[in-house]
């Protein structure tokens, strides 16, 4: 092959490396840590695939593991396995009796009260809703997802004494980013739903990739024919709407919390939806 022909060949977009966040909750025994993270991953996976009812039910599992962790913190000895209390309401209220000089308000009040809300949705919101403009199962699942991620992020924050943004990024790093509609092949990613707009396809790709992604890679992955038009009409426009952060100097884009919410609530992430 001639040198000229080599120079004309199209290079594959650069690989995207996810930032490493070393906050694996090592202060919690593996017998409790593993089921906690597995419950969170299951909730996220079911939500992304539109399985609202399983997402709600697995919220109950996360509550039971979390309350076992809190009990271990307050008692000074973690239980060997997670267990369901006889009375979830009373078990959560009991944490308010813990010594405020030794335990933070998050441990005594805030996490237990979020557990109560999450457990109420799990137990007392049936699937047979009638009427309303919004599917209550989906609405409930949105609440379950947000509450579950908040609980785990708060545990990260408390156990590692870090700020909220750092704890949130740690949880995002722990969650499986695999999406049914995103296919990874030959160093590239492809959105398998061809009915999505360029903006929606871009947000899906950013949602499924932890950290910033180069604009060159994004343009290639969505199959846009004109990089300058893509930068102006998609990346810059989405940046203006705060759906993503577009770094013009670094030529990268990263999804924002608003963009994440948009993807989770408005874009079907499963095949055949």
pLDDT, one tens digit per residue, over 99-135 is 999 999 999 999 999 999 999 888 777 544 445 555 6
Q: How far is CA 246 from CA 85, 233, 266, in A?
A: 47, 12, 21
Q: Identify the burial level of 1 via C-beta atoms within 10 angstroms of its C-beta, where 0-12 means exposed, 13-18 middle and 19 or more buried.
A: exposed
Domain 182-266, CATH class in plain words: mainly alpha
Read off the pTM: 0.64
Query: Mean of the pLDDT values across residues 55-83?
Result: 91
Q: In which residue are the tokens 């870090």 written?
A: 162
Query: Mean of the pLDDT values across residues 40-67?
Result: 83
Q: Please tell me the predicted confidence (pLDDT) of residue 101.
A: 95
Pair of tokens at residue 53: 């009812």
Tell me which of 82-86, 97-101, 225-229, 262-266 is least confident. 262-266
Residue 20 has pLDDT above 50, yes or no: no
Three-point CA angle 264, 268, 273, nearest 5° = 155
Q: Identify the burial level of 5 via C-beta atoms within 10 angstroms of its C-beta, where 0-12 means exposed, 13-18 middle and 19 or more buried.
A: exposed
CA dist., res. 170 & res. 36, Å (int): 14
Per-residue pLDDT reduced to its tens digit, 155-189: 988 888 778 787 777 777 766 566 889 998 888 89
């Amino acid at each position: 092959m001639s040198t000229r022909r080599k120079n004309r060949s199209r290079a594959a977009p650069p690989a995207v490396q996810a930032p490493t966040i070393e906050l694996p909750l090592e202060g919690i025994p593996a017998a409790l840590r593993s089921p906690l993270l597995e419950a969170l991953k299951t909730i996220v996976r079911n939500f992304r695939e539109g399985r609202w009812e399983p997402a709600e039910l697995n919220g109950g599992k996360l509550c039971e593991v979390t309350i076992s962790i809190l009990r271990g913190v307050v008692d000074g000895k973690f239980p060997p396995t997670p267990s369901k209390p006889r009375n979830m309401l009373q078990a959560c209220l009991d944490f308010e009796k813990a010594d405020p000089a030794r335990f933070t308000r998050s441990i005594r009040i805030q996490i237990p009260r979020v557990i109560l809300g999450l457990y109420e949705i799990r137990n007392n919101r049936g699937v047979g809703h009638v009427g309303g403009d919004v599917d209550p199962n989906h609405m409930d699942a949105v609440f379950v997802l947000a509450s579950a991620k908040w609980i785990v992020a708060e545990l990260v924050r408390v156990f590692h004494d870090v700020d909220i943004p750092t704890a949130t990024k740690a949880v995002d790093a722990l969650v499986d980013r695999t999406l049914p509609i995103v296919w990874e092949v030959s160093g590239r990613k492809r959105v398998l739903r061809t009915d999505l707009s360029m903006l929606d396809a871009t947000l899906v790709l950013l949602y499924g990739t932890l950290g910033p992604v180069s604009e060159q890679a994004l343009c290639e992955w969505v199959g846009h024919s004109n990089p300058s038009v893509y930068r102006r009409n998609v990346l810059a426009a989405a940046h203006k709407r705060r759906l993503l952060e577009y770094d013009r100097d670094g030529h990268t884009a990263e999804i924002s919390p608003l963009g994440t919410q948009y993807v989770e609530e408005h874009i079907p992430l499963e095949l055949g939806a």
